[in-house]
Amino acid sequence: MSNRDQFASKIGFILAAAGSAIGLGAIWKFPYMAGTNGGSVFILLFIICTLIIGLPILVAEFMIGRRGQTDAVSSFKKQAPGTRWFLTGWAGFIFSAIILSFYSVVGGWILSYIVRAISFELSGSGEDYYGELFASITSNPWEVVIAQAVFLFLTVWIVQGGVKNGIEKASKWMMPLLFIFFIVLVIRSLTLDGAIEGIKFMFVPDWSYFTGKTLLMALGQAFFSLSVGVAAMLTYASYLSKETKIGSSAINVAGMNIGISLLAGLVIFPAVFALGYSPDQGPGLVFIIIPAVFQQIPFGSLFMIIFFILLLFATVTSAIAMLEIVVATAMGPKYDKRKQYSWLCGFGIFIVGIPSALSFGVLSEIKIFGLSIFDSADFLTNNIGMPIGALLVAIFAGYKISKADAAAELNTKDWIFKTWRILVRFVAPIAIIIVFIQSVFFR
Domains and CATH numbers, the chain: 10-441 (1.20.1740)
Single-letter residue type at 436: F
| Range picked from 78-82, 164-168, 257-261 for highest mean pLDDT | 78-82
Question: Among 92-101, 128-137, 293-302, 373-382, whose mean pLDDT is lowest?
Answer: 293-302
Q: What is the pLDDT of residues 109-160, one digit of tens each?
A: 999 999 998 988 877 766 778 888 888 999 999 999 999 999 999 999 989 9
Give dist(CA 420, CA 61) in Å, integer.
13
DSSP code for 295? T
Give dist(CA 316, CA 23) in Å, integer.
8
Q: In the predicted model, what is the mean pLDDT of the chain? A: 88
The residue ranking higher by pLDDT, 290 or 301, is 301
Residues 6+ apart with CB under 8 A from 270: 189, 190, 192, 194, 195, 196, 197, 198, 199
Handedness of CA 33, 38, 42, 44 (dihedral sign): positive
pLDDT confidence of residue 41: 94
Residues 6+ apart with CB under 8 A from 171: 12, 15, 16, 18, 19, 317
Give dist(CA 373, CA 408) in Å, integer.
45
Give dist(CA 145, CA 350) in Å, integer.
9
216 pLDDT tier (thresholds 50, 70, 90) = confident
pLDDT confidence of residue 443: 60
User: CB of 225 within 8 A of CB of 261?
Assistant: yes
22 pLDDT tier (thresholds 50, 70, 90) = confident
pLDDT confidence of residue 282: 61
DSSP code for 368? B
pLDDT confidence of residue 348: 97
Residues 6+ apart with CB under 8 A from 371: 379
Phi/psi region, residue 298 (left: phi>0; alpha: psi -120 to 50; beta: rest), is: beta
Query: By CB neighbour count within 10 A (0-12 exposed, 13-18 middle, 19+ buried), where does 94 fall?
Result: middle
3-state secondary structure 371-422: ECHHHHHHHHHHHHHHHHHHHHHHHHHHHHCCHHHHHHHHCCCHHHHHHHHH
Q: What is the pLDDT of residues 385-440, one digit of tens each?
A: 888 999 999 999 999 999 999 999 999 999 999 999 999 999 999 988 988 887 77
CB < 8 Å & 24+ apart, contacts of 82-88: 85/392, 85/396, 85/400, 88/231, 88/389, 88/392, 88/393, 88/396
pLDDT confidence of residue 157: 94
Give dist(CA 220, CA 390) in Å, integer.
12
User: CB of 106 within 8 A of CB of 315?
Assistant: yes
68 pLDDT tier (thresholds 50, 70, 90) = very high
pLDDT confidence of residue 283: 62
User: CB of 99 within 8 A of CB of 384?
Assistant: no
Please tell me whether residue 239 adopts helix, strand or coil conformation. coil
Residues 6+ apart with CB under 8 A from 157: none
Summarize the confidence of residues 11-28 as an average pLDDT.
78
The residue ranking higher by pLDDT, 278 or 264, is 264
Single-letter residue type at 370: G
Give dist(CA 286, CA 267) in Å, integer.
11
DSSP code for 51? I
The residue ranking higher by pLDDT, 279 or 354, is 354
Q: How far apart are the first and last CA of the chain?
A: 49
Largest Cα separation within the chain, whole Å, is: 64
Single-letter residue type at 77: K
pLDDT confidence of residue 1: 38
Secondary structure percentages of the chain, helix, strand, coil, to 5:
80, 0, 20
CB atoms within 10 A of CB 164: 15
Q: What is the pLDDT of residues 363-381, one digit of tens each?
A: 999 999 888 999 899 888 8
Give dist(CA 146, CA 406) in Å, integer.
46
Question: Among 136-145, 254-263, 264-273, 292-301, whose mean pLDDT is lowest?
Answer: 292-301
